[in-house]
Amino acid sequence: MSVCLGSFVSVSFWTVDPLRIEERLAEYLRSSAVVVEVSSFVQLAGGWEADIYSFDVSPALSNGLDRLVLRVYSGGEGGRKASREFSGIGLLARCGYPVPQVVSFDSEGTALGRPFLIMQRIEGTLLGEAMVDDGQLHEAPTLDFVRLMVDMHELDWRPFAEPLTGETNPEPLSRARRLLEGWRSDLRELPGFSAPADWLLAELDQITPEPPAVIHGDFHPWNVLVDQSGRLKVIDWTGITVLDRRYDLAWSLLLAGAYLGNEARQQLENLYRSLATRRLSDLGYFDAHAATMRLHHMVVSLTSSPEEVGMLAGAADAMREQVTAYRWVADLLADRTGLVIPEVEALLVEGE
């Protein structure tokens, strides 16, 4: 099971001819909307799993938008990601949560050759740029960031449940167990992960249950945009689901610790605890889960082709440059469980 597969690091991978993408995009828009021209088509810095482009349309779409973003997904899961992100953002918007407007998506990849999503372009900056300075957190944007997370986790989860999980009343830990058991059964070629998988399954019975919550799956300040009026918009919703909020929080805290250090991690945890209406318990278990999934993704990504794991070409090279961060994650897992994963240690020693 993977709750999320992101990082604080923005990486850019040029894998598709932008001119060809622009031509096919214009054809698609002309067939589905009254669009005369696509202009200012520019490829932006992407993440692990999507090429991202900005462009303008003339005349504006029926919803008034004329400045847009195109996300073109990579890998065999691209269609699922496009569909989930489109559905998730639409549900969030109806609840009043701050997200960009979505325009359309293609989960089959018939129009551009790969699945894609078109959404509103937010002119502004990344919250991470205002929040973090040389590893230190600035108070006001940090408060904004954590409040966004708490607000998301305290949304009414019921409208999201069936569209995102197929269940009307998902029990978070039971659902987590099923996902974890499925992940455990796929570990034949990475036997070193069997021990943490068994630990997670055994310890799950001891965890205090919580109500379901809407979770992002990769919530960090570089997935929050600040528009020119200072309003915040959360992006990158391919991992949205209904689960225990502690999976989401532990992932965010893991990223903070790995890339910003223990002090920043503790600041975020303390602030979350102070803002949340429900008390947190058993967070150490979820730390172990986040660390296991992060390390599993690292090993799979560095020993497989990008296409097999749904990443863009070049992502593995970027991961190799983050040995210090992955060492922090491995140490977190050892601290919470007492376990060391041989495949992880071999890759870390090779990179150090």
Instruction: Determine contact, residues 214/152, Cβ cutoff 8 Å.
Output: yes
Maximum distance among all Cα pairs of the chain, rounded to whole angstroms: 61
Residue spans per domain, the chain = 18-121, 125-351
**Whose CA is closest to 288, among 330, 322, 252?**
330
Residue 19 burial (10 A CB sphere; 0-12, 13-18, 19+):
exposed
Spatial separation of the C-alpha atoms in residues 89 and 84, rounded to whole Å: 8
Tally of CB atoms within 10 A around 30: 13
Percent of the chain with pLDDT over 90: 74
pLDDT of residue 169: 95
pLDDT of residue 61: 86
Q: Find the mean pLDDT for residues 294-304.
A: 86
pLDDT at 307 over 80: no
**Torsion of Cα atoms, 306 then 127 then 94 then 280, to 10°:** 90
What's 18-121's CATH class? alpha beta
- Comparing 63 with 227, the larger pLDDT belongs to 227
Q: Which residue, chain included where needed, has tokens 């190799």?
A: 320
pLDDT of residue 10: 34
> What's phi and psi for 251, nearest 5 deg?
-65, -45
Q: With a threshold of 0.85, does the pTM exceed it?
A: yes
Name the fold adopted by 125-351.
Aminoglycoside 3'-phosphotransferase; Chain: A, domain 2 (3.90.1200)
For the chain, the C-alpha Rg in angstroms (whole number) is 20
Average pLDDT, rounded, for the chain? 89
